């Protein structure tokens, strides 16, 4: 039988009403869209932008910083902000050719630079709303749910954490305990994330920037003093929490065996320092700056973020 005759017979069979032809037709109509969707989604996967999580107590300047990065330099002073109640995000762009040299003030289109986009997620600083922010850092690969940052079903991977503090408020000492308490919880969450790894593969490192804001004010502490004061207060919090466990009946052996996740930093160290967090792949930098006024500005913070996204 010739090929031409075979094709003719197949065509006639397909045009002849029969249960077999009907079943094949229905199967094709039902399965073809599913197959095409699978092939398309596999060939062109939807990806989301990386995120930088912005944390800190109320009044530290998180929302003001978000506004500054979004709008660039303003002729008029930044509008007075209010305490955030829900997370919010903005899309920003850095120079992917040289992230550390670019400024948030630079128009990348006019400069002819290649833009790399990321999301800056501003979170509420109120103590009652912090748990949801910390929950994003628990997993080995921290992500932000798409309902917070974008439409669709994907998640955005958190590449870095910026913890903003008010360097002027820390000078009088009243704000230091509450600020350090929040920072302690952030660092402890990242440390526990390291301990909860599965197998021999460690979670990806998580850089943390402690952004000492409001250095344009005369009463503000310089970044070096912000760092030392926070380290000292974190050490006091660590000692107090450890004593609380012992007073509740947890023995020294139990504390060493099962409660090491509640001890921030290196074991056996009398004084706490941010350098101890390197043991858990958490690199902490303290950099001063200012959102408003004639201070050092926000350039160093922007460059720090650009090098890590």
Give me the domains of the chain, ranges plus CATH numbers. 3-41 (no CATH), 48-307 (3.40.50.300)
Please give the span between the terminal C-alpha atoms of the chain, in angstroms, as a whole number. Answer: 66
The segment with the largest mean pLDDT, out of 34-38, 97-101, 107-111, 161-165, is 161-165
Instruction: Say what percent of the chain tops pLDDT 70.
Output: 65
- Cα(297)–Cα(294) distance, integer angstroms: 7
Residue at token pair 């006091």: 236
Give the model confidence (pLDDT) of 106-144 as tens digits: 665 555 567 788 999 999 888 888 888 898 898 778 887
pLDDT average, residue stretch 266-273: 81
Q: Where are the alpha helices (DSSP H) in 16-163?
A: 19-43, 62-71, 108-111, 130-135, 146-149
Residue 291 has pLDDT above 50, yes or no: yes
Cβ pair 161, 136 in contact under 8 A: no
The DSSP bridge pattern shows strands 284-288 and 156-166 to be unpaired
Beta strands in 96-136 (DSSP E): 115-122
- Cα(158)–Cα(270) distance, integer angstroms: 32
Lowest mean pLDDT among 141-155, 157-171, 179-193, 249-263: 249-263
> How many Cβ atoms are within 10 Å of 60's Cβ, its own excluded?
27
Write down the pLDDT at residue 250.
53
| pLDDT band at residue 215 under the 50/70/90 scheme | very high
- Cα(91)–Cα(284) distance, integer angstroms: 24
Task: Give the three-state DSSP class for 140.
Answer: coil
Nearest to 210 by CA among 177, 240, 186: 186
The segment with the largest mean pLDDT, out of 41-45, 81-85, 118-122, 199-203, is 118-122
Average pLDDT, the chain: 79
pTM of the model: 0.77
> How many Cβ atoms are within 10 Å of 298's Cβ, its own excluded?
24
Write down the pLDDT at residue 115.
75
The more confident residue out of 202 and 101 is 202
- Cα(40)–Cα(72) distance, integer angstroms: 39
The DSSP bridge pattern shows strands 156-166 and 143-144 to be antiparallel
- Cα(171)–Cα(207) distance, integer angstroms: 26
Please give the helix or strand (H or E) that residue 233 lies within, else none. helix 223-247
Angle in degrees, CA 177, 135, 165, rounded to 5 = 30
Lowest mean pLDDT among 10-19, 168-177, 195-204, 229-238: 10-19
The more confident residue out of 258 and 142 is 142
């Amino acid at each position: 039988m010739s090929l031409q005759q075979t094709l003719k017979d197949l065509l006639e069979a397909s045009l002849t009403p029969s249960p077999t032809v009907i079943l094949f037709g229905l199967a094709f109509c039902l399965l073809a869209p599913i197959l095409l969707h699978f092939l398309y989604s596999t060939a062109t996967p939807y990806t989301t932008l990386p995120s930088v999580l912005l944390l800190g107590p109320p009044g530290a300047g998180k929302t003001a910083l978000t506004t500054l990065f979004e709008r660039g330099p303003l002729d008029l002073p930044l509008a007075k902000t209010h305490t955030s109640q829900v997370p919010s995000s903005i899309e920003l762009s850095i120079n992917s050719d040289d992230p550390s040299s670019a400024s948030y003030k630079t128009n990348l289109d006019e400069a002819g630079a290649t833009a790399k986009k990321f999301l800056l997620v501003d979170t509420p600083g109120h103590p009652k709303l912090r748990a949801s922010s910390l929950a994003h850092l628990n997993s080995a690969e921290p992500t932000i749910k798409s309902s917070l940052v974008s439409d669709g079903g994907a998640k955005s991977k958190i590449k870095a954490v910026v913890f903003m503090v008010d360097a002027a408020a820390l000078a009088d000492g009243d704000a230091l305990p509450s600020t350090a308490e929040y920072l302690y919880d952030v660092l402890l969450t990242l440390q526990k994330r390291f301990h909860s790894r599965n197998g021999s593969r460690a979670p990806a490192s998580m850089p943390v920037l402690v952004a000492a804001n409001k250095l344009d004010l005369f009463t503000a502490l310089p970044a070096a003093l912000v760092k030392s004061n926070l380290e000292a207060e974190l050490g006091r919090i660590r000692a107090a929490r450890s004593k609380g466990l012992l007073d509740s009946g947890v023995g020294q052996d139990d504390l060493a065996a099962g409660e090491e996740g509640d001890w921030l930093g290196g074991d056996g160290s009398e004084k706490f320092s941010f350098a101890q967090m390197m043991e858990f792949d958490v690199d902490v930098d303290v950099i001063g700056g200012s959102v408003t006024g004639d201070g050092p500005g926000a350039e160093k913070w922007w460059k720090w973020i650009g090098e890590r996204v």
